[in-house]
Amino acid sequence: MKLLNTNLSPFASRVRLAIHAKSLPVEIAPAGMWLPNGQKSPDYLALNPIGKVPTLILDDGSALPESDTIVEYLADAFPQAGLRPARPQDAARGRLLARIFEQYVMAPGWSGLIGQLFAPSRDEAVVDATLAKIHEGLRHLSHFMTDEPFAVGDTITTADCALIPFLTFQNRLARFHGKNDPSAEHPRIAAYLDRVGRDPVVQTLLGEMRDGLVGSRLAMLLQPDERA
Ligand SMILES: N[C@@H](CCC(=O)N[C@@H](CS)C(=O)NCC(=O)O)C(=O)O
């Protein structure tokens, strides 16, 4: 199996966290280097016409796009790895946490913040309105989070694979716009990020995401002390 990857992508990072945390036998290949012209090349689009990263190439050569689907596939393909909690109610809460983030935080929030990255001048009203939606979604997320070591239980599961890269990337977006980390305003989420940030595998992932930004078109998301 081969993951067509870009390190800075929070979506590809979702899959890499699953691979790293469970030492899954999946080769990680740069989407932009493996194929000429990267993810918009005819070859890549033939595999994944959506043209987004990541894509997982299965052993039979077929292509699986979409980070949530890929992680769920890995959980099914390697059941012994424990990517999905064993108890149905725990597995459901894990899916719920990832879904709340995608549906009620990312969907109403990210296009506004990302669009403003490239705007000739920042529209504060758009940024503030977008952040208000993000905070509403984070309040919903917070409601269903617990004080367990990871999102569900004491090991990394599919929910962490979504929440850790997404929350971290979102904090970078808000910082670029001169705002506080959205996660910092939600104590349960802030405590979660603090806890998981001490895990060596998570540290590796966050380092990869940071390094992936260097020299990229999103390099403006690096903090001044990360640019050296
Ligand atoms: N829903 C997709 C989103 C993937 C996505 O948006 N990837 C970005 C990289 S962070 C991308 O490939 N963007 C290029 C584009 O949209 O043309 C997933 O979960 O995998």
* pLDDT tens digits, 20-55: 999 999 999 987 655 556 778 888 899 999 999 999
Among the listed residues 140, 125, 128, 133, the one whose alpha carbon sits nearest the alpha carbon of residue 109: 133
66 CB near ligand 1 (under 6 Å) = yes
Atom of ligand 1 nearest to the CA of 10: 10
Determine the Cα–Cα distance for residues 79 and 2; give it in Å rounded to an integer. Answer: 18
Among the listed residues 202, 199, 224, 197, the one whose alpha carbon sits nearest the alpha carbon of residue 213: 224
Domains belonging to the chain, first-starting first, are 2-81 (3.40.30.10), 88-226 (1.20.1050.10)
At 9, the pLDDT band (50, 70, 90 cuts) reads very high
14 CB near ligand 1 (under 6 Å) = no
44 CB near ligand 1 (under 6 Å) = no
**pLDDT of res. 16:** 98
Atom of ligand 1 nearest to the CA of 8: 10
Residue nearest to atom 18 of ligand 1 (CA): 66
Tell how far the Cα of 135 is from the centroid of ligand 1, in angstroms.
Answer: 23
The one-letter code for the residue type at 89 is Q
Stretch 139-153: mean pLDDT: 98
Residue nearest to atom 10 of ligand 1 (CA): 9
Tell how far the Cα of 109 is from the centroid of ligand 1, in angstroms.
Answer: 15
Inform me whether the pLDDT recorded for 132 exceeds 80: yes
209 CB near ligand 1 (under 6 Å) = no
From edge to edge, which strands make up the β-sheet containing 63-65?
Answer: 27-30, 2-5, 55-57, 63-65
What are the angstrom distances between the C-alpha of 162 and each of 13, 19, 40, 43, 55?
8, 13, 25, 28, 16
Tell how far the Cα of 165 is from the centroid of ligand 1, in angstroms.
Answer: 13
Residue nearest to atom 15 of ligand 1 (CA): 52
146: how many CB neighbours lie within 10 A of its CB?
13
